[in-house]
């Protein structure tokens, strides 16, 4: 956590070769992002989007085999016929390629290249080779955790009516989204805030058991007799002590103030930060695990504020590391990773999960954002003994991409946060740690510390992975692993 506006221009991360015009990740510290929950709105259909190569036809070269004087007319006719056939062939290929292969009239399943009609998504029957069309059929919306289900008939998301609803269905829903039944908290009811003209999804009362996918039991309905829709808490998250009002540069955190903050260590040495999202899962930055990708290298320490205190505890072992497959080392695009612990964390006053940002979560521009970590207080410095915290502001993407700031380096997978005049920032050692904000009395994970130029320099705020953008990816990994 840096507070020195005169620190040097770059900080080097372990295992990262600094190149000219390339962003340097904070190895143990990172800077906050610019845009508060940048606009990432999922499309109407929950789908995967493979890239299609561009086809460029190469014109054939034709040669005339006999003198023009003996068969010019015949040659012209032949060339015309061949030309027409060639054009028809290319046209046919392009139609096949772009219509048949690129799902112009359907939705791509994923890496298999198969396509499925939009009306077959979430209809209860797997049509994709790996069943991707039945994966992302439920989601949590907004700061009140409204449960929404995808309707294949209207091809839109609808709230779920509380008619016939019970905790059994709540547990099925949470498990289908990606959580464990063991963390299930409760379901609630709220008025028809998102119903009305769009309608509802409602349980079919003819189903008596609660096994299998929930979409097998949901049907579209224009009415909801209870007059309320389901809100769902799959895990108790985002609750902590009130933050200190001391802000300048970075101040020492108190016990329980950031209970989701963890230290990721190799051989008892703090390397990066991370954030608890469930008893098993930790969010961090992909560049943290780029060099040291074996789970056996790492231990995770939660609930302690001082690095020296961590020397006496064994920490939690890691069973699995998943870095986003689209992570780009040179640009730090898609800089996010997950660690799965061998055994679940025991939650307490000092060890708790933060909330993942639900789709549609709208944080006000005036919202306060906080960063925390054991990163250096100055460029090139050592890790701090104490967990530090600082308040920062989210900076909009246009400003962060301006020539005076990062000159176009900020992508949709990133957000900037900090103070443009300098003086408050993440630094090496903060990498992978959380950028959080409070909304509706709960704390939400907005970003993971990724990279920056120097520490706390003017016009060089911290850059974070945009957790909202990666929400589907996070849930998919939790579902399948």
Q: Which are the catalytic amino acids?
A: 287, 335, 431
HEC profile of 339-400: EEECCCCCCCCCCCCCECCCECCCCCCCCCEEEEECCCCCCCCCCCCECEEEEEEEECHHHH
Distance, first Cα to last Cα, the chain: 33
Calculate ∠ Cα 100-47-135, nearest 5°.
120
Cβ neighbours of 322 (radius 10 Å): 20
Distance CA 127, CA 49 (A): 17
Contact call for residues 111 and 50 (beta carbons, < 8 A): yes
Distances from the Cα of 478 to the Cαs of 80, 124, 361, 373, in angstroms? 59, 21, 21, 25
Buried-state track 123-156, b at ≥16 Cβ within 10 A, e below 16: beebbbeeebbbbbbbbbbbbbbbbbbbbbeeee
Query: What contacts 432, CB < 8 A, 6 or more positions away?
Result: 30, 264, 272, 273, 274, 275, 283, 284, 285, 288, 337, 448, 449
CA angle 265, 279, 415 (to 5 degrees): 70
């Amino acid at each position: 956590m840096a507070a020195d506006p005169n620190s040097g221009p770059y900080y080097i991360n372990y295992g990262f070769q600094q190149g000219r015009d390339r962003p340097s990740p904070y190895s143990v510290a990172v800077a906050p992002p610019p845009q508060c929950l940048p606009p990432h709105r999922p499309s109407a259909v929950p789908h995967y989007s493979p890239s299609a190569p561009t086809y460029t036809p190469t014109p054939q070269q034709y040669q005339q085999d006999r003198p023009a004087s003996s068969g010019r007319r015949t040659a012209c006719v032949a060339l015309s016929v061949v030309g027409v056939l060639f054009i028809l062939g290319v046209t046919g290929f392009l139609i096949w390629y772009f219509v048949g292969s690129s799902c112009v009239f359907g939705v791509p399943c994923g890496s298999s290249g198969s396509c499925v009609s939009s009306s077959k998504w979430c209809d209860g029957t797997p049509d994709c080779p790996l069943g991707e069309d039945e994966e992302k059929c439920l989601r949590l919306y907004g700061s009140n955790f409204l449960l929404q289900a995808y309707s294949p008939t209207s091809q839109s998301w609808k709230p779920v009516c509380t008619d016939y609803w019970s905790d059994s269905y709540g547990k099925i829903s949470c498990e289908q989204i990606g959580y464990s039944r063991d963390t299930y908290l409760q379901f609630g009811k709220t008025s028809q805030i998102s119903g009305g003209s769009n309608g509802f999804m409602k349980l079919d009362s003819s189903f008596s058991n609660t096994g299998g996918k929930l979409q097998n039991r949901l049907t579209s309905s224009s009415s909801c007799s209870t007059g309320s829709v389901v809100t769902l808490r799959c895990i108790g998250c985002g609750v902590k002590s009130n933050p200190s009002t001391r802000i300048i540069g970075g101040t020492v955190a108190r016990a329980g103030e950031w209970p989701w903050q963890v230290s990721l260590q190799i051989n008892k040495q703090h390397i990066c930060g991370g954030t608890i999202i469930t008893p098993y899962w930790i969010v961090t930055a992909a560049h943290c695990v780029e060099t040291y990708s074996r789970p056996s290298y790492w231990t995770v320490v939660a609930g302690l504020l001082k690095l020296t205190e961590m020397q006496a505890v064994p920490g939690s072992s890691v069973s699995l590391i998943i870095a986003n497959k689209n992570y780009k080392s040179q640009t730090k695009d898609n800089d996010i990773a997950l660690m799965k612990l061998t055994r679940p964390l025991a939650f307490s006053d000092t060890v708790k999960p933060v909330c993942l940002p639900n789709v549609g979560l709208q944080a006000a521009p005036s919202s306060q954002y906080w960063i925390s970590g054991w990163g250096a207080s100055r460029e090139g410095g050592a890790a701090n003994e104490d967990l530090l915290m600082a308040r920062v502001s989210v900076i909009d993407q246009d400003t962060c991409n301006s020539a005076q700031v990062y000159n176009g380096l900020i992508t949709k997978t990133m957000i900037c946060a900090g103070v443009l005049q300098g003086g408050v920032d993440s630094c090496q050692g903060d990498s992978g740690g959380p950028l959080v904000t409070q909304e509706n009395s709960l704390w939400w994970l907005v970003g993971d510390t990724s990279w920056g130029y120097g520490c706390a320099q003017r016009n060089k705020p911290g850059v974070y992975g945009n957790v909202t953008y990666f929400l589907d990816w996070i849930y998919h990994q939790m579902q399948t692993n």
